[in-house]
Chains A and B, each alone.
Chain A
Amino acid sequence: MGFLFALIAIGLTLIYGVMGVVNFAHGEFLMLAMYATYMAYATWHADPLVTLPFVAAGMFLFGVMVYKLLVRRVLSGSMYSQIFATFGLMVFMQAAAQFVMGADYFAVRDSWLSGVLTLGGLTLPVPQLASVAGASLSTALLYWFVFRTGTGRSLRAAAQDRQAAATLGIDVDRMYALAWGIGSACVGVAGSLLANFYPVFPRVGVLFVLLAYVAVALGGFGSIHGALLAGVCIGILQVIAGFFFDSQFKYVPVYLLYLLVVLLYPRGLAGRA
């Protein structure tokens, strides 16, 4: 789970890091990806693993579309208008999901990745293992793209100084759209992996995204390393807390951890000054 939180958080932090906008509809992007995965499974019996690349590509386009239609129009506005543009999108997408699919829970059953793997004395559920592998792989890919390629460099340039980047001939608008696309593709991958072992319903995004915000803030807004570190920490802490507390309380220690960390480091673990 921690790695999925990390992947969701990285998508969020990428968008924030590049343009300073917090996407409050991020959890609903996750929900959309999960529904897409489920629908492919229900209609064509396509395994989530097969649909994953298509979902990721579809979410990329969706992210770019959201940027072009909505976010670009509020970029020059205040933090409030940005918060509420994406908040409105969140309400809208949740309601749309309920409108189309109803409030029922849907789950993908007997996918390729079901079952458990026994390793020595340890029993490990395969879907969760695959999620760790898939999330790590996508994170590694993202790292490579952002830090090792020319386009990634332009992306970081646009993040650091919009005007200077524009002066150097970088199409900032395109970079922003790219950030939204990649950030959304990250949740697309996370959604497909999650659909293997978690049911989908209209409000599924809320829980995951709240933890993703915490991961983003804990790691320091805009820091990919930070989000990865914090996402994994949260995943581990949540599992440990699950042993000691009722399952409904298991997120409280995570929230307390956030408060504690930002008190000591007001800009997160790896935040930029």
Chain B
Amino acid sequence: MSSGARSRRVPAFAPLIALGLAVFALAVLPLALGARPFELRLFTVIFLYATLGHAWNILGGYAGQTSLGHGVLFGLGAYCSTILLAKTGLSPWLGMLAGAALATVVGVLLGFVGFRLRGHYFVIATLVVAESVYLLFSGWDWVGAALGLQIPLAEEGLASFQFHRNKAGYYYIAFALLAVTTLLVWWLERSKIGMVLRAIRDDEDAVRSLGFSPLRYKLTAMALSAAICGAGGVFYAQYVLFIDPPSVLALSLSVLIALIPILGGTGTLVGPIIGAAVLIPISEYSRIYFSGSGRSVDLLIYGFLIMLMAVYRPDGLASLLRGMPSLFRSIGAAARRHRQRSV
């Protein structure tokens, strides 16, 4: 009812205009940031993590299957394209397809096994798989073991997926990844698949009794989620130009990927974007301001903030946004009252 009242006051196309303005602002931003590589990097990383957050959100937020092993899918993508590039010279763009495909296959296999489990048993299973892959890759010489892999340098340009002097290329690719993923999730939210996924989250047995196969839908969600994660991993490899198990397969990465949509709000389109936009700057800025001492003050702050969020915003920051219209209305009402009194 209240949304009906609101839509009468605000033209229906207002959000679209705001969205267009935001996209335009982000598109021209690198021109303004030309001389500020730190901020350019910050935004690139935010886009990447928002994309990964979307990927997690498809499986964790909409379908309710909490995974703490998504770092594996990300890492496999990164390793896949890097090895293909190093051993066969395959273009990283095709490597991105290959990485996404590999992550999808592994993700679906994992799902096939793991989706028989529920609740914490599934969470621990994903955690265990992530840690096993981490250990295996740390000791496997063919993939560089603990030393990691260097991405072979190439002439910079869009074709080689490498930009050395001006990193704006990475910015736009990450932006495009985020935009495509956001559109995908937006479509998914409205599609039948999205509906069934949400129903599975709320009551899996009811979905089964209606004649849907929960496993098939969960596998679909896993495939989408894994493909995006794999592609994100390839982007990371090309961006940083060096990968090793601690940077692309670590448990902390898996947890961060889950933390972003949870912080922003699970099962919402804006959740992962808000989560990344809040969490990444906190971690980056606290790192540059405090980590010089080697005393990990950055993590101290980060951990404390996560606890605060869990206590005071258990539904994620997106719930703040939803409360916004009523907040504005109450502020407006208060201002009117104040004006009447002063007149």
Binding site for B on A (CB under 8 A): 16, 22, 70, 73-74, 77-85, 87-96, 98-99, 102-103, 206, 210, 213-214, 216-217, 221, 246, 248-249, 251-252, 255-256, 258-259, 262-263, 266-268
B307 touches A88 (CB 8 A): yes
The B contact surface, by secondary structure, is helix
Residue of B138, B306, B314 touching A77 (CB-CB under 8 A): B314
B residues less than 8 Å from A22 (CB atoms): 120, 123
Given contacts A95-B300, A98-B296, A252-B135, contact A89 B307 (CB under 8 A): yes
B residues less than 8 Å from A217 (CB atoms): 120-121, 124-125
B residues less than 8 Å from A94 (CB atoms): 296, 299, 303
B9 near A: Cβ within 8 Å?
Answer: no
Given contacts A98-B296, A259-B113, contact A221 B120 (CB under 8 A): yes
Smallest CB–CB gap between B214 and chain A, Å?
Answer: 14
Q: Which residue of A lies closest to B313 (CB)?
A: A81
Smallest CB–CB gap between A71 and chain B, Å?
Answer: 10
Q: Which parts of B64-92 form the interface with A (CB within 8 Å)?
A: 66
A213 touches B124 (CB 8 A): yes
> A95–B124 Cα gap in the complex (Å)?
24
Q: Which residue of B lies closest to A253 (CB)?
A: B132
A70 touches B296 (CB 8 A): no
Residue of B259, B300, B306, B310 touching A96 (CB-CB under 8 A): B300
Smallest CB–CB gap between A35 and chain B, Å?
Answer: 15
Residue of B128, B251, B298, B302 touching A214 (CB-CB under 8 A): B128
A residues less than 8 Å from B297 (CB atoms): 95, 99
The A contact surface, by secondary structure, is helix
Q: Which parts of B243-300 form the interface with A (CB within 8 Å)?
A: 251, 255, 259, 262-263, 266, 294-300
> A248–B129 Cα gap in the complex (Å)?
15
Instruction: Bin the interface of chain B by size.
Output: 35 or more
A258 touches B303 (CB 8 A): no
Residue of A77, A98, A213, A248 touching B135 (CB-CB under 8 A): A248
B117 touches A74 (CB 8 A): no
The tally of CB-CB contacts under 8 A between chains A and B is 133
A92 touches B304 (CB 8 A): yes
A87 touches B136 (CB 8 A): no
A70 touches B311 (CB 8 A): yes
> A196–B307 Cα gap in the complex (Å)?
33
Residue of B135, B255, B303 touching A249 (CB-CB under 8 A): B135
Q: Which parts of B195-243 form the interface with A (CB within 8 Å)?
A: none
B118 near A: Cβ within 8 Å?
Answer: yes
Given contacts A85-B310, A262-B121, contact A99 B296 (CB under 8 A): yes
B303 touches A91 (CB 8 A): yes
B125 touches A262 (CB 8 A): yes
Given contacts A91-B299, A99-B295, A266-B118, contact A80 B125 (CB under 8 A): no
> A248–B307 Cα gap in the complex (Å)?
33
> A73–B305 Cα gap in the complex (Å)?
15
B139 near A: Cβ within 8 Å?
Answer: yes
Smallest CB–CB gap between A165 and chain B, Å?
Answer: 22
Residue of A90, A95, A102, A267 touching B121 (CB-CB under 8 A): A267
A74 touches B310 (CB 8 A): yes
Q: Which residue of A lies closest to B139 (CB)?
A: A248
Given contacts A78-B314, A85-B307, contact A258 B266 (CB under 8 A): no
Q: List 14 A-B contacts (CB under 8 A).
A: A74-B314, A84-B310, A85-B310, A88-B308, A92-B299, A95-B302, A210-B127, A221-B121, A251-B131, A251-B135, A259-B113, A262-B117, A263-B116, A266-B117
B309 near A: Cβ within 8 Å?
Answer: yes
> A91–B259 Cα gap in the complex (Å)?
13
B307 touches A259 (CB 8 A): no
> A85–B312 Cα gap in the complex (Å)?
10
A259 touches B306 (CB 8 A): no
Residue of A83, A85, A216, A249 touching B136 (CB-CB under 8 A): A249
B residues less than 8 Å from A92 (CB atoms): 299-300, 303-304, 306-307
> A88–B304 Cα gap in the complex (Å)?
6
B314 touches A81 (CB 8 A): yes
